[in-house]
Amino acid sequence: MSVEFKKYVNIRFYGNLNDFLPAGQKQKDQRVGFWGTPTVKDLVEALGVPHVEVFLILVDGLPVKFSFRPAQGSLVSCYPKFSSITISDIALRPDFEIPPRFVLDVHLGRLAAYLRFCGIDTLYDKSYTDNNILEIAQADGRIILTRDKGILRNGKARYGYYLRNTKPQLQLSEVVDYFNLTNFFDPFSRCSLCNGEVVQVEKSKVENQVPQTTYQVYNEFFKCTRCGQIYWEGPHFNRITAMLNRYPR
Ligand SMILES: [Zn+2]
């Protein structure tokens, strides 16, 4: 027996918000039936689109908040983040702080290391719970990056982005594009292990902390001011540099 809804709205998604819709449903009006008086946030998320990626909602042509309750038969238009125009007067949230800072969910260790190599402030810890991530993001104005739509649907989540790709290098490209991160690149200024600041140290100070052959081959050494990790411009450095050079600045 199919359920007959008394009321419905038509919802249309623009741009990359269509990524969340099944093939065949993209770029089309979605008819959503409902009972009672749900908020527009509930109706949008019922279709699998996390509210944190929606930056503007028009109901019958007028901007509304997430708490708005659309009437039967309304046309709801949902827009993603705009890269080239400012809509601050009617946007659902102010722009995130510049430079963007992130907190990542526990499955994104490689992406966390890549973002830190780029010099982007990135908190990540394998022991974080979903609640930890939401609290850190809220307290510190950080943007949540995740492959878990559940975190992004939480009402506490304000800024966030759902990664479409599963491969870390492709995830890095997505995040760099979406948040225009090349403007904030400062390669090798952060520790890939702990997000601490990395500074150059005198060669003589690391003599007992690196393998003897490394000490003989390299002249410049760097150290994390937080965890003490020593870095030098070895093969790993060259691989990362090649990766970062894919992003023209
Ligand atoms: Zn460190």
182, 249 in Cβ contact below 8 A? yes
Distance of CA 23 from the midpoint of ligand 1 (Å): 43
Q: Which domain holds residue 221?
A: 198-240
Which pLDDT does position 84 carry in this prediction? Answer: 61
What is the pLDDT averaged over residues 154-167? 94
| pLDDT tens profile 56-115 | 999 999 999 999 999 999 999 999 987 666 666 677 777 788 899 999 999 999 999 999
Residues in contact with 13: Cβ distance below 8 Å, sequence separation at least 6, in sequence order: 20, 21, 26, 27, 30, 47, 49, 78
Distance of CA 226 from the midpoint of ligand 1 (Å): 5
Looking at per-residue pLDDT, the higher value among 28 and 5 belongs to: 28
Which pLDDT does position 243 carry in this prediction? Answer: 82
Q: Are residues 180 and 203 in the same domain?
A: no
Distance of CA 126 from the midpoint of ligand 1 (Å): 15
Instruction: Kindly report the pTM of this predicted structure.
Output: 0.86
In a domain? residue 208: yes
Distance of CA 198 from the midpoint of ligand 1 (Å): 8
Query: Residue 99: is the preceding peptide bond cis (ω within 30°)?
Result: yes
In a domain? residue 85: no
% of residues, the chain, pLDDT over 90: 81
Distance of CA 193 from the midpoint of ligand 1 (Å): 5
In a domain? residue 48: yes
Least confident of 45-54, 185-194, 228-237: 228-237
In a domain? residue 61: yes
Distance of CA 112 from the midpoint of ligand 1 (Å): 13
In a domain? residue 2: no
Distance of CA 128 from the midpoint of ligand 1 (Å): 18
Annotate the chain with DSSP letters as a single string. Answer: -----SEEEEEEE-GGGGGGSPTTSTTSPEEEEESS---HHHHHHTTT--GGG--EEEETTEE--TT--PPTT-EEEEE---SS---TTT-SSPPPPSS--EEE-TT-HHHHHHHHHTT--EE--TT--HHHHHHHHHHHTPEEEES-HHHHHSTT--SEEE---SSHHHHHHHHHHHTTGGGG--TTSB-TTT--BEEEE-GGGGTTTS-HHHHHH---EEEETTT--EEESSHHHHHHHHHHTTS--
| Domain count across the chain | 3
Distance of CA 62 from the midpoint of ligand 1 (Å): 49
Whether residue 2 is predicted with pLDDT greater than 70 in this model: the reply is no
Question: Considering 23, 44, 79, which residue would you say is the last residue of a domain?
Answer: 79
| pLDDT tens profile 195-219 | 999 999 999 999 999 999 999 999 9
Q: Are residues 107 and 176 in the same domain?
A: yes
Mean pLDDT taken over the chain: 92
